[in-house]
Structure 1
Amino acid sequence: MKMPGEVIREGELEKRSDSLFQFWKKKLVVLTKDSLSLFPDGHKRARGKELGFHSILKVDCVERTGKYIYFTIVTTDRKEIDFRCPDQSCWNASITMALIDFQNKRAIQDFKSRQELEQAAASRAAGPAAGDQRSQAGELATRSASV
């Protein structure tokens, strides 16, 4: 699995299993500007799971106890993945800030792309008509000069 970009933070989180008994399993977590990667048993050598920020909708802080912060990552297909971290580790805040940064950069890129498309469409629409007007003005200037 590739981990694009610079590592923002690396450490341990607990993920609630999807099984019937819903045990908390420790995961090695690597946070980058583009994704959150989860590795089983605390080893990067093992095959991990990458949650790209393009597929994450939001991070919800569910509960704060004296010992843990419980939070949920909601994906764009509405899947919920539950995590917990020690209260002082602030993993939920780190993930939230990286996600917001990613979403802001993507929104700016989308805006610029939309602006470029609109400008290109406007110049195509004005292009032939503007060219015809310039050639007509040139013909008039030539006729005036010859008279």
Structure 2
Amino acid sequence: MNDTSNPLLLRDQLCFSLYAASRSVTALYRPLLDELGLTYPQYLVLLVLWEHGDSPVKDLGAALQLDYGTLSPLLKRLEANGLVRRARRADDERSVSVALTEEGLALRDRALSVPPVIGTAMGLDDAEFEVLRGLLSKLTTSVQAYTA
């Protein structure tokens, strides 16, 4: 049935396209991150720490758009694996800071092989990549503002 007046066609749902793309990309990451001993959410935490260095848990949550209840188990696992350490901040006992260990810093060099594989598999040229990233960022901001 090819009914353009039907707003419930699966092929016309942007949410499904986003869902399918997200699942595909995340599945692509899995074997690459398995080699590093990481899950995808753990990799995202490390990306923030590699970029910004020591960070309060609050800032990590904001950067990753994760609440404390979701982020805390990720940090505990990364700490148990010897990649980060958590400590109360001396200047604010209520705040916990997360820092990379030497092992966590060293893992960055191994992780440098991940983005090129992902980029190649996506099949986008640089301009398409930038347009898509910009549109997704705009979509996220718009939806968050709408639901706030």
Bin for the TM-score computed over the shorter chain: under 0.3
> Of the two structures, which has the highest relative contact order with CA contacts closer than 8 Å and spacing of 6 or more?
2
Larger radius of gyration: 1
TM-score, normalised with respect to structure 1 = 0.24
